[in-house]
Amino acid sequence: MRNLAANMLTILIAIGVAIVIVIGIARQQYSAPGPLAEETVVLLPRGATATSASELLEKAGAIDNPVIFRLAARYTDQAANLKYGEFRVPAGASMQEILALLVAGSNVQHKITIAEGLTSWEVVKVLSGSDLLTGEISAVPPEGSLAPETYFVARGQDRMELLQRMQEAQSARLAEVWKNRAGDLPVSTPEEALILASIVEKETGQAAERPQVASVFINRLRRGMRLQSDPTVIYGITRGEGTLDRGLRRSELDKATPYNTYMIDGLPPTPIANPGLATLEATVNPAETNFIYFVADGTGGHVFSTNINEHNRNVARWRKIERGKKKKKN
């Protein structure tokens, strides 16, 4: 009996020693440099488990013992904390380092640029067409509520989450520029400033002109003149869903709609696009001018005037330039 007990004790000790050795080897392998000869990018899908992650990593050549990786993830209570996305795994990264990467979140960022002056419908179209993003967009956000900017996103980010970021950014921008606005503006709320900024944004593509264009509309509002902005009429026709792809018809300019600023007094009921930060700033801090008219100058910019006679001469020059362009095309 004593011999049997002694033998069992010896066996148990041997098993214990073996377990300690195995654990020591596993720990060594877990923290040792990995097999990757050069950096690689691994895409971890949504809902990935420690098992599926270890298989992906093994297939990518980032680890050579998926069992140890899985056990370590579970032992350290990190198995449930794995993030989806793209991960740039450095050459020679250990399993311990790789697990830390997967828990911290994607370290690969992509750019999505939203141009100034896009309508909310156009922004949704851009995001819906991006294969970087996931999820459905349930509704087009209110016009003007999205901040044009270059956004850095991880592959697999939800589209609605990105739209929320854009809305939060635009709300913060509007609050800041309104706080720093010039005195005696003919707009009484941040929402009215946003509407006016969207018109300025659509009227000129040249950054240097924005304060002058803004001054024209500010001066018109102060004098009780109608804004007479073509982009507002166009928005009333398209509702921001694409471009008109033709000139405005006389009947459209004469038709009374909420967005026809040739027919209505003051501002249209909503923004007509998503203005950028520089345009918001220019709108609430316009140039100090007496300009009340402007027309294209043929170079991509505009020429400004303080009275109708001067404006008519500028319009005549513009039309002459336009006729010359048509002759060259023909």
* Token pair in block for residue 291: 């300009």
Query: Span 281-298, mean pLDDT?
Result: 93
What DSSP string describes 43-76?
EE-TT--HHHHHHHHHHTTS-S-HHHHHHHHHHT
The candidate with the shortest Cα–Cα distance to 35, out of 69, 8, 12, 6, is 69
Domain 39-108 of CATH type 3.30.1490.480? yes
The residues that bridge with 44 in the sheet, in sequence order, are: 85
pLDDT score recorded for residue 322:
73
Residue scoring higher pLDDT (2 or 139):
139
Q: Is 16 left (phi over 0), alpha (psi -120 to 50) or beta?
A: alpha
CA 322, CA 121: separation in Å to the nearest integer?
31
pLDDT score recorded for residue 13:
57
Is residue 85 over pLDDT 80? yes
Is residue 6 over pLDDT 70? no
pLDDT score recorded for residue 91:
92
- Residue 151 · residue 114 · CB < 8 Å: yes
Most confident of 36-45, 63-72, 175-184, 300-309: 175-184
Stated as kind and residue range, the H or E segment containing 262 is none
Is residue 12 over pLDDT 70? no
Min mean pLDDT across 21-35, 71-85, 129-143, 310-324 is at: 21-35
Q: What is the pTM of this model?
A: 0.80
Min mean pLDDT across 22-36, 86-100, 102-116, 236-250 is at: 22-36
Helix, strand or coil, per DSSP, at residue 225:
coil
Residues 18-41 pLDDT 10s: 454 444 554 667 778 888 889 998
CATH 3.30.1490.480 residue spans of the chain: 39-108
- Residue 145 · residue 274 · CB < 8 Å: yes
Helix, strand or coil, per DSSP, at residue 152:
strand
Residue 33: other Cβ atoms inside 10 A = 11
Query: Span 96-122, mean pLDDT?
Result: 91
Residues 234-280 pLDDT 10s: 999 999 998 888 888 999 999 999 999 999 999 999 999 999 999 99
Mean model confidence pLDDT for the chain: 88
